[in-house]
Amino acid sequence: MRVEPASAFDLGELRELFNEGFSEYLVPMQLDDVAFRDHLNGNDVDLDCSRVAIADRPAALALIARRGAVGWVGGMGTAPTYRRRGLGERVLVAGLDAARGSGCREVWLEVIEENHAAIALYEKLGFEFVRELVVWSLPAREDGVPASQPVDAERAQAWIAAHRESPEPWQRADESIAGMRARGAPLRGLTIDRDGEVAAAAAFRDDPDLAVILQIAGVDYDAAADALLAAAGRERGLRLSNAPAGEPPDRAMERLGGRAVVRQHEMRLAL
């Protein structure tokens, strides 16, 4: 078995290995070419730091993203027939070593809370729990839509940056949203006003029949709930990924009757 940089492989090979690694997962994830390329580009995955373990064929993958001195594990997995041989640990350690050598001083990741084996591995390598993140889904509603003000997504983001309670998770960070904008993604923004002052703001993307919340903040749960409902509009569902537990958007989704699709641990490793 040997380990090589992911940059030595073409994107088609990496996508196939990524999909194999996430087959039979707690939340199965299969990406097509466009979605995989968007994942790499939008999250600043560094293929020179990312690593592939090769047995008689590519068998395990660890994607490592980098933004300055901060890194993120953008997905890791092992093809089903090669599991339980320690390949996942070897390829992840190699990727972390590469990140350290490239100047990273900390690396973050998210892991589903029921994935006890993965959590045990990350803790063995020195990752520590930081907070709980929740993926929420809200079905379409037929009741009234709160009044809101449409604004440019950048303006909404500026208000959110000044009022969010904690940093955004990697995939919804300012850099990720800027990358979406640079690739031409149609992003929208809105604000909720109270007594002439902004009480909540949301930046979101319109997918067919679904509003995908990219960033949101509110001064309280009610304001955040109004922003969520205004983004969804009438008769359209809504999705909010990796909402920090206990903050207004998370509590608002709970109050609105949203479904917690999955709960994750956000973890950090100091290099």
Q: What is the largest CA-CA distance in the chain?
A: 66
Say if residue 27's pLDDT is above 80. Answer: no
Gap between the Cα atoms of 241 and 152, Å rounded = 21
| Stretch (H or E) spanning 251 | helix 248-255
| Stretch (H or E) spanning 59 | strand 58-67
DSSP-based three-state secondary structure for 56: coil
Gap between the Cα atoms of 237 and 24, Å rounded = 27
- What are 167-215's pLDDT values in tens digits? 999 999 999 999 888 888 889 999 999 999 999 999 999 888 899 999 9
What are the backbone dihedrals phi and psi of residue 149, each rounded to the nearest 5 degrees, phi first? -115, 120
Residue 118 contacts residue 268 (beta carbons within 8 Å)? no
- What are 72-89's pLDDT values in tens digits? 999 999 999 999 999 999
The residues pairing with 108 across neighbouring beta strands, listed in sequence order, are: 72, 268
Alpha-carbon separation of residue 171 from 136, 154, 179 (angstroms): 15, 17, 11
Say if residue 58's pLDDT is above 90. Answer: yes
- What are 104-134's pLDDT values in tens digits? 999 999 999 999 999 999 999 999 999 999 9
The tokens describing 117, both together, are 């084996």
The pLDDT value given to residue 234: 85
Considering the chain, what is the average pLDDT of its residues?
Answer: 95
The tokens describing 180, both together, are 């979406």
Supply the DSSP symbol for 84.
S
Q: What is the mean pLDDT of residues 233-237?
A: 88
Cβ neighbours of 243 (radius 10 Å): 26
Q: What is the mean pLDDT of residues 148-157?
A: 96
Say if residue 26's pLDDT is above 80. Answer: no
Q: What is the mean pLDDT of residues 230-247?
A: 94
Gap between the Cα atoms of 124 and 265, Å rounded = 15
The pLDDT value given to residue 169: 97
Residue 50 contacts residue 62 (beta carbons within 8 Å)? yes
**Residue that has been written with the tokens 């007594």 in this structure:** 195
| Band (255; pLDDT cuts 50, 70, 90) | very high
Name the CATH superfamily housing domain 135-265: Gcn5-related N-acetyltransferase (GNAT) (3.40.630.30)
Query: For the chain, where do the domains classified as CATH 3.40.630.30 start and end?
Result: 2-104, 135-265
- Listing DSSP states for 138-199 in one string gives E----S-----EEE-HHHHHHHHHHH-SSPPPGGGSHHHHHHHHHTT--EEEEEEEETTEEE
**Residue that has been written with the tokens 């500026």 in this structure:** 158
Closest by CA position to 176, among listed 198, 149, 157: 157
Alpha-carbon separation of residue 185 from 27, 215, 218 (angstroms): 26, 15, 24
Cβ neighbours of 107 (radius 10 Å): 25
The residues pairing with 204 across neighbouring beta strands, listed in sequence order, are: 188, 213
The fold for domain 2-104 equals Aminopeptidase (3.40.630)
Angle at 12 between CA 53 and CA 99, to 5 degrees: 45
The pLDDT value given to residue 144: 87
